[in-house]
Structure 1
Amino acid sequence: MEDIRNVRLAPLKDSNYLKPFRFLYTQNGTPKSWDLLGVHDSVGIIIYNITRKVLVLVKQFRPAVYYSSVHPDNRKDTIDTDKYPGSLGTTLELCAGIVDKNKSLLEIAREEALEECGYDIPADKMEEIATCRSGVGEQSALFTVFFCEVTDDMKTGAGGGIENELIEIVEKTIPEMEEMMNSPGPLASPPGFLYAIMWFLHHKAGKYKN
């Protein structure tokens, strides 16, 4: 996963995922503008395995995280991967996915749990927690969080994603997550993940410690 080579930067001519545009408006009589991105909404799933008492998370390479880890002076057409190894772009996240199908959020969440983590989770075991917004400065997409308990018997596949996805399943105990959340950082995880873990530690973790 972290063996990243041949990193190059190129103009973005077209995208199925990002739609840049300029937002023009008048506020209190003053003309203003703001540059925005149109992106898909997404779902994330907090998965707790009660058989082994671990949170089931995913690790993957995120180009945006990698790029932001490269000093601006070194953001040339080609980036030196010896100086900037792929590990700089590796994140710890919830099992998650974008909303790009004509399906309900629950159906998409169940699909992602199966594809990324290998768990076939019945719909009635999925609890919708909250919906928040991400990237309010440039896109403000909705991020809906689900929670579910799973057992080893519910794992029917290897996970790891589909097609050319490269996703590693990571299991963390509650004490390990508490230690991570109390660390000074910087944490290589998105705000939605941090919110979801804080919710889990506040609302659910106590019952699993007994």
Structure 2
Amino acid sequence: MIKITKINTLGKGRFLELKEVFFDYFGKKRRWEVCSSHNSVSILIYNTDLNSLIMVKQFRLPVYMKNGDGYTLELCAGLCDKDKPNIEIAKEEVLEECGYDVDVKNIQRITSTWASVGSSAANQEIFYVEVDESMKISDGGGIDDEDIETVLIPADEVYEKIFDETAVLTPGAKFAMLWWIYNKVDKLGSC
């Protein structure tokens, strides 16, 4: 049997809250640090005109502190911190980060996954959408102080990119790219 006995807040920021949790775990008293965070959405975007996946490149301070570079290649993504369905948040993120205006009826849910299970256990819902250049209405780049660059991965380079250890790709991005190869490549007639 598991029972939480006490939670202390150690620190609170704009997006994260660090907690110290005391709990009984099958008769043993335990303590763990937990970082509370919002769940998120991510979107794998395939541009049919360019026969390429659209990813985003951005600076991530925690990665910089580990590798001295800090730039990651990720799916278009955003926090679920608004009172609206995740699919609506996904639509907004595609526009804000990549500049494409998509219809929610064309956004397909792939799955959801848990990340950072030892520290924050954030859930990310992964979506897929196809775009063409007629849907591009802005350069994207994010909002406020986000500094997001869109990156095209040509269809015939996707598999290699997944295993390119010189690129910092998130696990969700790698999973979605493999899903795309398995579920879409033959159907699209590309690659």
**TM-score normalized by the length of structure 2:** 0.90
Q: Is the 8 A contact 1:132 1:142 kept in 2?
A: yes
More strand by share: 2
Deviations 1:101-157 (A, max 9, x none): 111101100000000000000011000110111100000011000101111101111
Any idea what the Cα deviations from partners look like across 1:33-59, whole Å, max 9, x if unmatched? 111000010000010011111101100
Tell me which residue corresponds to 2:176.
196
1:60 match: secondary structure: strand
1:133 has 2:114 as partner: yes
Paired-residue identity, %: 37
Determine if contact 1:128/1:145 at 8 Å carries over to the other structure.
yes
Asked which structure has the greater RCO (Cα within 8 Å, sep 6+), the reply is: 1
**Number of equivalent positions:** 181
For residue 98 of structure 1, what is the amino acid of its counterpart?
A: L
Give the whole-Å Cα distance in 2 for the aligned partners of 1:179 and 1:206.
Answer: 17
5+ unaligned residues in a row in structure 2: which ranges?
1-9
Root-mean-square deviation (CA, aligned residues, Å) is 1.5
Distance 1:47 1:40 in 2: 22
**1:209 Cα shift?**
3.5
Q: Where does the alignment leave 5 or more consecutive residues of structure 1 unmatched?
A: 1-11, 70-83
Counterpart Cα distance in 2 of 1:31 and 1:95: 41
Q: List 4+ stretches of structure 1 deviating above 3 A.
A: none
Deviation of 1:13 after TM superposition, in Å, equals 5.9
Aligned to 2:16: 18
User: Any idea what SS the aligned residue of 1:37 has?
Assistant: strand
- SS of the residue corresponding to residue 114 of structure 1 reads helix
